[in-house]
Structure 1
Amino acid sequence: MRFALDESHEDFASSIDALLTKSDMPQVIRAWNSGDTAPGLQVWERLAETGVNGLLVAEEHDGLGADAVDLVVAVEQLGRHAVPGPVVETVAVAPVLLAAVAPERLGPLAAGSLATVAMLPHTPYAVDAHVADLALHVAGGTVSVGTAGETRESVDRSRTLASLTPGESLGSADTAAAFDIGVLASAAQLQGLGRTLLDTTVEYAQQRKQFGRAIGSFQAVKHHLAEVAVALEMARPLLHGAAIAVRDGLPTASRDVSAAKVACGDAAYLAARTALQVHGAIGYTQEYDLSLWITKVRALVTAWGTPDEHRARVVAALESEAS
């Protein structure tokens, strides 16, 4: 099995990276946190123009008809830049659900509308239902249009969590496949967040001086950063392998996406902890950009299934294969 990305994937990632680099994402995120979602929605409009929203939407519904590998490439970049909004739900989960129950709703999604999803029992709250054009409530295989109710705060101030009340039923769908694609996209988002945290911390360590020397020259700091780099690099093949398993419909897909989620989540969390250790307390203050990435990692580690749930899925799959 070949895990390396080809040139078209690299070019696609570079185009998304360039778009988001020009968008001053820290200011966009802070505006979103304060309730001003207009700059963030403008970013989403530009992403839709590149085809990100319609990656998993069939060409007959004005999408790109891409696959899970393309999805991972795109969402990792969205993670690198900590794009606010229902990323996993809009780009990954909603297209899979709507293709099964309401394909006529896919056109607006590909054109740039946002969608959010509450999928019981693993994901009981919908992200950013207040800005989503469509909210989907999924329970027992039934997909319904949801209405946002009680809201909860997240450790990540750019995420507003809301319970959904099911309304119009759209039909039944293979929610297991939708859940797996959500897990995969969440893993990719964490991988991107971890990469930015590592890059930012390395840059800081090269500039910050103590005792007349850059702290990055201290052996202890080097070891911490090296551990993060190794964790992220070891998670990447699991992420790409899971994307291939989903793309090809392999029987190990559920196991593989869970393994990727655990590995990417652990690596991103290690990156967040190390970034905070190297930067010191300033790294967690709201005024410092790093905090926007750290808090998003904290929130996404348990999104679309907790680490314990995914470890249990991996163990159960391995035991079933061995019997």
Structure 2
Amino acid sequence: MRFEPTSDQRDFAASLDALLAGADPVGAARAWADGDHAAGVRLWQRLAEQGLTQLATEASPVEVVIALEALGRHAVPGPWVESAAYIPLALGREVDGIATVAVPPHVPYALDADVADDVYVGSTPASAVGARLTSVDPARRLFEVTGTGEADPAAFDLAVLATAAQLLGAGERVLADSVTYVKQRKQFGREIGSYQAIKHKLADVRIALDFARPLAYGAALVSTGSTGEATGSAGERARAVSAAKVACGDAAYLAARTGLQVHGAIGYTREFDLSLWLTKIRALVTAWGTPGFHRDRILTSLREAR
């Protein structure tokens, strides 16, 4: 199967990239990590005006993947998976303002509950918000919450797919920045990108991302057809989104490791923008279900389909 986005979807992706390229999302992410939400909230409002919080109920998972890939590529902070994927589908309506959710056991903490207008556990408002916990990604501010809500399976799968799209976008950004860097950095009188070992490492990342992308969009197509109805069973949907999450997570993690290797010591520094994507990828790999959980779900689904 060959997937090609429609002209409207291509225009949507281009408009998002143009908006984000001129909105300083890196600055917003750094401020968000320090507890200053003003710039991030302004960016949230601009993106909400573009319809991002309506995609789960008014568009299709394909548009959700397109949007979340762009957000991952630009390191946009905030609980976008929660507000643009899980909660609208679980509640059957668009989110007003900023919302977040915990879905135990796979999402035990609520992201950015301190800035959210509404906090849920499953599909039910949370009864209380507790202490903040530390994340490997400083821009992901996690909070303990209490409540008795239950998970919505379809909404959970869409959130998993949205997380996979974020990983895909973040991996693409790390690869692009790494390619740019190796063309500029010189050692022994040569650009380091001219060395075969560097070329092979970056080519491996390119291949991994290119193999992960069809799984993400394939899962989106399994989740909904042209009529808006699901084209696959719940088991097929779960298997597809788990496969997308595993593949996008592996590809993005490879991009992060390779990007750090080719940048050298500067890649470790918080002042260097690469660190935003390195820490975000590390956090998203286990967000909305660990790789082990998703691999087990794929295996279980295949066994049941025999």
Question: In 1, Cα distance between the equivalents of 2:211 and 2:284?
Answer: 19
Q: Which residue of 2 aligns with 1:68?
A: 61
Match among 262, 270, 277 for residue 278 of structure 1: 262
Is residue 183 of structure 1 aligned with residue 176 of structure 2? no
Deviation at 1:258, TM superposition (A): 0.1
Match for residue 145 of structure 1 among 118, 126, 134 = 126
| Code of the aligned partner of 2:131 | E
Structure 1: stretches of 5+ with no match in the other structure: 58-64
- The aligned counterpart of 1:36 is 36
Q: Which residue of 2 aligns with 1:298?
A: 282
Q: Aligned with 2:162: secondary structure?
A: helix
Alpha-carbon distance in structure 1 between the residues aligned to 2:245 and 2:78? 20
Residue 321 (structure 1) aligns with: 305
Q: Report the alpha carbon displacement of residue 27 of structure 1 after superposing the two structures with TM.
A: 1.2
Structure 1 residue matching 2:129: 3-state secondary structure: strand
Superposed counterparts of 1:128-207, under 5 Å: 128-138=112-122, 143-166=124-147, 175-207=152-184
Equivalent residue number for residue 89 of structure 1: 82
Query: What amino acid is the match of 2:185?
Result: R
**Contact kept in structure 2, 1:118 and 1:164, CA below 8 Å:** yes
Q: Deviations over 1:223-282 (max 9, x none)?
A: 000000000000001000000111142111000000000000000000000000000121
Q: Tell me which of 216, 221, 235 is aligned to 2:198.
A: 221
Partner secondary structure for residue 270 of structure 2: coil
Partner of 1:117: 101
Q: Tell me the CA shift for residue 147 of structure 1.
A: 2.4
Runs ≥4 in structure 1, deviation > 3 angstroms?
A: none
Once the two structures are TM-superposed, the CA of residue 145 in structure 1 deviates from its matched residue by: 3.3
CA separation in 1, counterparts of 2:32 and 2:214? Answer: 33
The aligned counterpart of 1:9 is 9
Distance 1:143 1:33 in 2: 27
Contact 1:284 1:294 in 2 (8 A): no
Q: Tell me the equivalent position of 2:49.
A: 49
Asked whether the equivalents of residues 148 and 163 of structure 1 are also in contact (C-alpha less than 8 Å), the reply is yes
SS of 1:92's equivalent?
A: helix
1:208 and 1:214 in contact (8 A); partners too: yes
Compute the displacement of 1:175 (Å): 1.1
Separation in 2 of the partners of 1:74 and 1:294? 20
The residue identity in structure 1 corresponding to 2:278 is: I
- Looking at structure 2, the residues matched to 54 and 216 of structure 1 have their Cα atoms a distance apart, in angstroms, of 42
Whole-angstrom distance in 2 between the partners of 1:279 and 1:260: 28
Q: Quick one: distance in 2 between partners of 1:319 and 1:50? A: 42
Letter in 2 for 1:302: T
* 1:313 Cα deviation from its structure 2 partner: 0.5
Identity of aligned residues (%): 53
Q: CA deviation at 1:88?
A: 0.5
Distance 1:272 1:146 in 2: 38
**CA distance, structure 2, for counterparts of residue 304 and residue 161 of structure 1:** 13
CA distance in 1, matches of 2:87, 2:284: 18
- d(CA) in 2 for partners of 1:66 and 1:2? 21
Moved more, 195-204 or 244-253: 244-253
Letter in 2 for 1:155: V
SS at structure 2 position matched to 1:164: strand
Structure 1 pair 283/146, CA: closer, same or farther in 2 (3 Å)? farther
- What is the deviation of 1:146? 4.2
- What CA deviation, in whole Å up to 9, does each residue of 1:104-153 have, x standing for no partner? xx3xx2x5x11111001111111000011111112xxx633342112101
Show CA shifts across 1:83-104 (max 9, x none): 10101001100101111xxx4x
Equivalent position amino acid for 1:211 in 2: F
Question: For 2:272, what is the secondary structure of its paired residue?
Answer: coil
Within the alignment, does 1:242 sit opposite 2:242 as a pair? no
| Unaligned segments of structure 2, at least 5 residues | none
- Cα deviation digits, residues 14-65 of structure 1 (max 9, x gap): 10111110011221111111111000111011101111111123xxxxxxx1
Shift of 1:8: 1.2
State how far apart, in whole Å, the 1-side matches of 2:12 and 2:128 are. 35
